[in-house]
Amino acid sequence: MSFIRKIISSRSKKDDEFYHELKKILGFSPKKMSVYKKAFIHRSIKETTEEGNPQNYERLEFLGDAILGSVIASYLFKKVPSGNEGYLTQMRSKIVSRDHLNELGRDLDLIRFVKSNVSKSKFGENINGNIFEALIGAIYLDRGYKSCKKFVYKCIIKPYVDIPILEGKITSYKSLFIEWCQKEKKEFEFDVYDDTGNDSVRHFSVKLLLNNKIVSKGRATSKKKAEEIASKRAYFAFQHEIS
């Protein structure tokens, strides 16, 4: 029996299913399966290495974030030769925004692979993007930068990156609304408060006041997201004036 066949035959049925599902997502055969498994270990498992170091997806997420940023930066540098530093930075931020990465993670249903001692219903939305970045980190350790680049082009650049559309995309309604208020000398306030209610996950609500009058509301699992939701609603309410 060949060496490769021995490896395949030694895998459990669960490992074999993971291997084939991962291969479909990656578009190539993964080699170092232990690295990919680590990309889906939640910190609640409290797994450690032989040296006692924490073993979960967070370090791979850090690595994947850096590699993803470099691939997108290189693409934009070549694609838009007239873009200055500020423009390129803004465009990269739009492509690798947390909402976009969360969407990619959800589309690939990466959360199905996560090992955790916490109910998946209690996970925040950002775990989808975090796992996506961890997967890129695992690809780098398994197959190197070129394979990461191919994966990013296949999953992000080719299907989603359209420069003209991205140029008109708003990444932060809160920043846009605040800039408008400051420019027009309008008073604004984000009144944030706990609003968990019957939900098992902590929620926050926010009232956005303009000149002491409530113009919109938002509710989410984080203060930042609740403020962004309220700002987006306020933006569309005053879009004509802001534009």
The rounded distance, in Å, linking the Cα atoms of 95 and 190 is 27
State yes or no: is 58 an active-site residue. Answer: no
The single residue of 16, 58, 133, 187 carrying the catalytic annotation is 133
Q: 205, 192 in Cβ contact below 8 A?
A: yes
CB-count burial class (<10 Å; 0-12, 13-18, 19+) for 37: middle
Q: 112, 123 in Cβ contact below 8 A?
A: no
State yes or no: is 99 an active-site residue. Answer: no
Angle at 43 between CA 40 and CA 47, to 5 degrees: 85
Helix (H) / strand (E) element for 189: namely strand 188-194
The single residue of 16, 51, 65, 194 carrying the catalytic annotation is 65
Residues annotated as part of the active site: 65, 133
